[in-house]
Amino acid sequence: MTEAQKILVSMTCPSCGGQVQCEEGEDLVLCKFCESVFALTTDEGANKVMYKMTVDKDKALAKVRDWWKTGPKAQDLVQTAQVTEAYPMYLPFWRLIARGKACVCGIEEERRGKDNQKVEIPREALINREYIYSEIACETGDLGIQSIVIPERAQAISYDDQEIVTFGVTSSRDNAYEAGGRAIRQTAVEDGGARMDKIYFSKSFFFPKAFTLVYYPFWIVRYSYEGRTYFATVDGITARVVSGRAPGNAGSQSTAAGIGGALSGGLAGFGIGLAIVTEGTDVGIGVLVVGIVAAVALLGYFYNRFRYGDEILEGAVNGKGLKSGRTQKKVQPIYNETYDYFK
């Protein structure tokens, strides 16, 4: 027997010797000749689902052009940027649907009455919700996509090798399953303790319902601006720009420096001045505190826009730059499957 022959295991029915058909991920097989049912003990496969791409190239490019106009991106981006390539692809995601249950006990602090007395109210929450966890099943590289939400209108199609490039799975199925369970339990506890200021006790469980390998469509659009290559990815079903990089706007950066510096300085100065003029009354001190807090927040916000505004980062892309948009959370609740109890 050669090395190659050793790794092929013929699949015939153990009862009648007829040829059996089975699909990846199945663990029970029915022989179509003698109708005997038998179990397969191969590696446990995950079910695969692929969603149909419904956004065409023109729409994806139009969405990227709209995105160029938003935020503090280079002013001449729409006029001068050149799309160099745009191609569709499928990315793999591990998706765990599970019921997350948590019992959380703690207290909520409230200030009541004239003298603002702190009152502790004991709270108890029993969380019983269905959650969906999804996590990309390959390295993220510079795609900036970590997780997905599958829209209602998404149409599942059978998984087969099509012309569209499908990225390979490189992460461990069991690691993803464990990480998903942990994340769902943690979210259930967080949801239970959302109104509590202190949590004294919590216990959580998760009951898996489905674990699937999902292939979800995206467009990758690469474009050049001043000889540099930037990119954006567009959701292949909702047409939203989910991640990308774009050149920043130097004008916005310098304006941010001017506004941030002068305004926060002015606020702090106003607070200090008022505190001195009013000779330390409660009102003066109050304005001073509010002014300084606001000044620090403004200074931080505008400094970030000034210092890192050379490049705008959308989604979960790595590196220095001005973050914009939101990163898709890995755990999402299914609201109509919620049976919570709060006390």
The one among 115, 319, 335, 343 contacting another protein by CB under 8 A: 319
| Residue 170 interacts with another protein (CB under 8 A): yes or no | yes
Q: Which of residues 244-283 bind another protein (CB under 8 A)?
A: 245, 247, 250-251, 253-274, 276-277
Q: Which stretch binds another protein (CB under 8 A): 115-123, 189-197, 311-319, 331-339?
A: 311-319
| Residue 161 interacts with another protein (CB under 8 A): yes or no | yes
Task: To the nearest 10°, report the CA torsion of 143, 144, 150, 152.
Answer: -100
The one among 165, 194, 210, 289 contacting another protein by CB under 8 A: 165
Chain centre distance of CA 28:
35
| Residue 76 interacts with another protein (CB under 8 A): yes or no | no
Say how many residues touch another protein, by CB under 8 A: 93
CA distances from 218 to 138, 151, 152, 154 (A): 15, 14, 17, 13
| Residue 302 interacts with another protein (CB under 8 A): yes or no | yes
Residue 236: Cβ within 10 Å count: 24
Backbone torsion region of residue 32, taken as left when φ is above 0, otherwise alpha when ψ lies between -120 and 50, otherwise beta: alpha
Which CB atom, from 55 or from 91, has the smaller least distance to another protein? 91
Which CB atom, from 62 or from 299, has the smaller least distance to another protein? 299
Look at residues 148, 279, 131 and name the one whose alpha carbon lies nearest to residue 204.
131
Rounded to a whole number of angstroms, the minimum distance from the CB of residue 133 to another protein is: 17
- Those residues whose C-beta lies under 8 Å from the C-beta of residue 286, and which sit 6 or more positions away, are none
Beta bridge partners of 211: 96
* SS3 at position 143: coil
| Residue 138 interacts with another protein (CB under 8 A): yes or no | yes
| Residue 141 interacts with another protein (CB under 8 A): yes or no | yes
Q: Which of residues 17-36 bind another protein (CB under 8 A)?
A: 19-24
The one among 52, 228, 240, 329 contacting another protein by CB under 8 A: 228
Between strands 228-235 and 322-324, the pairing is unpaired
Which CB atom, from 166 or from 328, has the smaller least distance to another protein? 166
